[in-house]
Amino acid sequence: MTVCDARGRIAAGAPSANGTARLLDEQATAAGRALIARKYLSSRIGNWAARVLHIRRPQMIGIAITLETG
């Protein structure tokens, strides 16, 4: 894994790390989204607006990343 910007561009000399990633099931994804909403006001506002305005969102899936140490 290497640090990149929002568009996926990797800067010269960007730090890298080894690790594994796994896709989360629907329940774990919902739990992760709830944690994010609890921490970030902007997420709560976006979720609220989507519900009130009946905005259709694409299905989301969470990714859990575990970095190797050592």
DSSP, residue by residue, 1-69: -B---TT-PPPTT--B--EEEEE--HHHHHHHHHHHHHH-HHHHHHHHHHHHTT--------EEEEE--
State residue 59's pLDDT score.
84
The answer to whether residue 52 is domain-embedded is: yes
Whole-angstrom distance, CA of residue 14 vs CA of residue 2? 7
The answer to whether residue 12 is domain-embedded is: no
The answer to whether residue 3 is domain-embedded is: no
The pTM score is 0.63
State residue 6's pLDDT score.
86
State residue 63's pLDDT score.
94
The answer to whether residue 29 is domain-embedded is: yes
Domain count, the chain: 1
Residue ranges for the chain with pLDDT beneath 50? none
Parent domain of 57: 24-62
The answer to whether residue 6 is domain-embedded is: no
State residue 62's pLDDT score.
94
State residue 70's pLDDT score.
67
